[in-house]
Amino acid sequence: MLRVLKYNIDFSHINYTVEKFLLELGYTRKIITHLKKYEKSITINGKWAYVKNKLQLNDILTVTLSETNDNNIIPNKLLFDIIYEDEDILVINKPAFMPIHPSLKNYDNTLANALTYYFNSKNESIVFRCITRLDRDTTGLCIIAKNRLAASILNAQTKKHEIQKIYVAICEGEIDNSGEIEAPIAREKESIITRCIDFEKGDYSKTLYKRLRYNKKADISLVQLKLLTGRTHQIRVHMKYINHPLIGDFLYNPHNTLMNRQALHSYKLSFVHPITREKMDFVAPLPTDMQKIISEITI
């Protein structure tokens, strides 16, 4: 799949080298090295250019990103919703019970399989790069990068906590109106999956929460959560830590069977587009199984 990007050089970038200009835009040295391997992947005014060439006013710098999809993901027609798509990204509303990546027990039922089928049907091919990953049973919004530059810039935003993620969950009991949970998370001993609170060996973790509704009859709360860090199972572990575990969470609350999965939904994503630098905001409504549980409780 090709992505062609054109830049019109203005006064602020006169005498910049191509390399310096691209680094300023978010290209990594690894991407630039990759570009150097291919003829005419970088041109100035239509002529093949080197990364040490200097730019002049009104030059047209063209960068052609190309790559071959060789990850051997099996295409499979699976249901999922595309909230937004352009040349660089997709925003997906992932359904429940769909893993992100193929694994030994989930070889052809993942989001990667579904997107491979989707792009094959359009005679396109991309390397699957999921930026904001979700657990298998968690629903909602996640970002897919369609090229290595978009992925690099979005991953940098993730590391700087510039991608804002808001979740909605249903938890046991009547939670406080609002608060924060600041407790370090570590891998539980002798487990490759389960996490726990560990004040000696855990990684710093912080979650903000706000109660949206409380159903006294069912003794459940609808809660909005904002992650200030991005640890594995962070919301699930933090909510258990304050004695309000998520309903249906077989791993951290196995005795609750109100749902057949943890009641957790990636509700809102806000970030800056990696190429256009436009502010992007997306919302995905609650899935039907969570709506059914909360019945008259709405956001």
Catalytic residues: 135
The tokens describing 69, both together, are 């999809």
Question: CB–CB of 223/187 below 8 Å?
Answer: no
How far is 143 from 284, CA to CA, in rounded Å? 13
Residue with the two structure tokens 């239509």: 46
| Inter-residue contact 225 to 208 (CB < 8 Å) | yes
- At residue 137's C-alpha, the angle toward residues 121 and 163, to 5°, is 75
Amino acid making up residue 256: N
Handedness of CA 129, 134, 136, 137 (dihedral sign): negative
Q: C-alpha angle with apex 197: 234 to 228, nearest 5 degrees?
A: 35
Q: Can you give the C-alpha Rg of the chain in angstroms? A: 22
**Residue 122 structure tokens:** 């359009």
Tokens found for residue 270 = 């806000």
Closest CA to 146 of 244, 38, 5, 17: 5
Q: How many CA atoms lie within 13 A of 78 on its CB side?
A: 22
Which DSSP symbol is given to 203?
A: B
